Every structure is written in structure tokens, then in C-alpha cells.
Amino acid sequence: MVRTLPSIVTADAAGIAAAARALRDGRLVALPTETVYGLAADATDDRAVARIYAVKGRPTFNPLISHVPDAEGAFALVRENAWAKQLATAFWPGPLTMVLARRDNCPVSLLATAGLDTLAVRVPAHPVARAVLAAAGRPIAAPSANRSGKVSPTTARHVEDDLGGDVDLILDGGACTVGVESTIVDLSGARPRLLRPGGIGGEDLERLVGPLEHATHCAVVAPGMMASHYAPTLPLRLDATASRGREALLAFGADVPGGFTLVLNLSSRGDLEEAAANLFGYLRQLDRTSVDGIAVAPIPRHGLGLAINDRLRRAAAPRQ
Ligand code: AMP
Ligand code: MG
């Protein structure tokens, strides 16, 4: 079988412009950051974000970091506080990711944040990444450009070897230098909390914001690990094939059972990427309606369907 390889493009002015154009068109672009190569997509485009998850082959929706060219861009998406301003001045651009409350008008896809009300933002230091972000003019979601479980790529060739034809363009900016992921600090709570150690030391953060709580000392290490995290308010019933009482239906595919008060179809043509793109938005929409519960049609258990089923299982789990 002939596989179309993505073009590896040198990160000169023309390459950067092509990458920014591709991102604006909803395509996937691998690009260098100071940590590792990122698999980048327009963070405001549900379908493009769904493709990131599909290509990485993750069985869950881990929230993604949104990359922006400067602190001003970051604080247009999230509500900054005194800690965030101090850390931004000291460490941006650089390998520090801050988790803060989303603003009400934040355009980032709910899929990119796995339905959370917080958003992780970072201003990378790599000149190529910064140039692409500036030219794209929108927040860019970018986890590491490797299949789930594989080693993170530090050259354009690594990306091509691992992701092959599944990425539309690979921007070659040479080998990455840091190789360590960004430090993630959650500033959305009562105290700053270190979620992931990384390129910037915890002590350096503590000098500015005081003692950090450590995620390992808390119940939740990463979002999504808690069984009923960010569940809808209404009860959720999975694998529903017929109506029971005053329920709304989250349907999938062409066969939609009758008798439901309200129906939203994740994808009437049975497309899992489209379903993933719609999942969190539709759940929220149904959660705001006056029904007694939400029934969810069976979703195929392969490809992105694994991550969709994982999320639905958590949303339906007994509340904690
Ligand atoms: P990466 O794999 O380097 O793209 O980092 C993504 C990680 O950032 C996720 O696995 C989460 O642990 C963390 N993260 C992203 N968004 C959030 C958020 N809103 N709240 C808490 N952690 C987040
Ligand atoms: Mg990774």
C-alpha cells in the first residue's frame, strides 16, 4: 500500500506561513517547541482537536495545553490572578504551563479541555513555535507529536517515522533542546498546586508564589482520573436503545430510537471524529434542559470511540 507522506517543510518564512495557513484550515501540523515536537491544531476547532486525539490514539481525553504567543493572549482566554501575572513575567516565554479558570467568552474547544472549566495555557520560547502562533492568530493545542505510549519526538524525522501520513505538514526546525516537558502549575484554586514537574523547578516558582501544594499529596493527580469528575448534573444512562420516561437522547448514527423528549445526534453518519467533536458541547446542552435524565446510545468501542466511552463511563459513574 502506498502511504502519502506529509511534506517536511523547512521552518523558514515560507514554511512558517504554510504551517499557519494549514492550522487556520483545520489541519494538523507538527512543529518544534523547546520541549519536544508538538502535534498542533487550532484549539478553537472541535474537529481539528478531535483529529489530535484520533491520531495520537489515546484511549481517554486528556485535556490539552493551549499555546499562545504572549501573556496577553493567554489572559484573553483565562482569568489571570496575581500569581499568574507574577509567574508570566518571570517565566514566559518558557516551559511553564498555567491552569486557570476559562473566561466565559473563551473560544477554545470544550474537547480540548475535556469538558473542564479550567484551561491550561503556555507561551513557548521556541522561535519557530512563536512565529507560527503569531501568524496563526489563534490558540493552538499541541500535545507531543507521537502515538500514545511512544517516545516523544525531538526531530522532524521522528515525527514522520511515528505519525507518517496522519499529519498534514511537518515543520522542520532542527532538534529540540530541552526534551523535558513543561512544568504545570494549577493556579485556579485556593493555593498554587504543582500538577507536573518539568522544565522549570518548583523552588523557582515557590520563590514567587510561596509554598506549592503537590498533586501527589492530593486525591486527584490529573483531571479525569477521578471516577465522576466533571459529570453532568442530570443522571446519565449508557447504551440506551429505547426510551424510559422523560429523557433526552444523545444519539449516534442513523438509527435513532423514538419516544425521547429531545434528541441531539453526536454524528448521524456514525463518524467517531464528528462525535468526539460534539461530545462535551452536546452533554452541556442536554444538561441544561428540563428532562429527568440523559440517555446515551451505544457508541462503537474502537478508535476514538474508546475515549468517548471512557468519558461517558466517568460521567455516568456514581457521584462522589
Ligand atoms: P501534554 O501531554 O504535555 O500536552 O500535557 C497535557 C497535560 O496537561 C494533561 O495530561 C493534564 O495533566 C494537564 N492539563 C491540561 N489542561 C489541564 C487542566 N485544565 N487542568 C488540569 N490539568 C491540565
Ligand atoms: Mg506526550
List, chain by chain if needed, residues with CB within 6 Å of any ligand 1 atom. 62-65, 99, 113, 116, 118-120, 143-144, 181, 184, 186, 195, 222-223
Atom of ligand 1 nearest to the CA of 120: 16
Domains of the chain: 7-214 (3.90.870.10), 236-316 (3.40.50.11030)
What pLDDT does 220 receive? 43
Report the alpha-carbon distance of residue 315 to residue 269 in Å, rounded: 24
Q: What is the largest CA-CA distance in the chain?
A: 61
- Alpha-carbon separation of residue 80 from 75, 189, 300 (angstroms): 6, 12, 40
Contact 294, 248 (CB under 8 A): yes
Q: Which of 64, 148, 186, 221 to mutate to test the pocket of ligand 1 (most atoms within 8 A of CB)?
A: 64
Helices and strands (DSSP H and E) totals, the chain: 9, 15
- DSSP letters, 244-296, are -SSEEEEE-SS---S--SEEEES-TT--HHHHHHHHHHHHHHHHTSSSSEEEE
- Chain position carrying cell 438509527: 255
Cα distance between residue 274 and residue 122, in whole Å: 27
Spell out, as residue ranges, where the chain has pLDDT lower than 70. Answer: 1-6, 178-179, 216-230, 319-320
* 244-280 pLDDT per residue, tens: 999 999 999 999 999 999 999 999 999 999 999 999 9
What is the model's pLDDT at position 227? Answer: 43
pLDDT, residue 270, reads 98
Pocket test for ligand 1, best of 33, 96, 184 (most atoms within 8 A of CB): 184
Per-residue model confidence as pLDDT tens digits over 4-24: 666 899 999 999 999 999 999
The rounded distance, in Å, linking the Cα atoms of 307 and 50 is 11
pLDDT at 317: 83
The cell numbers describing 205, all together, are 516558582
Q: Taking the model in full, what pTM does it have?
A: 0.89
Which residues have their alpha-adjacent CB atom under 5 A from ion ligand 2? 144
User: Quick one: which of 93, 99, 81 has its CA closest to 213?
Assistant: 99
Predicted local confidence at residue 99, as pLDDT: 97
Backbone dihedral angles phi then psi of residue 214, each to the nearest 5 degrees: -115, 135
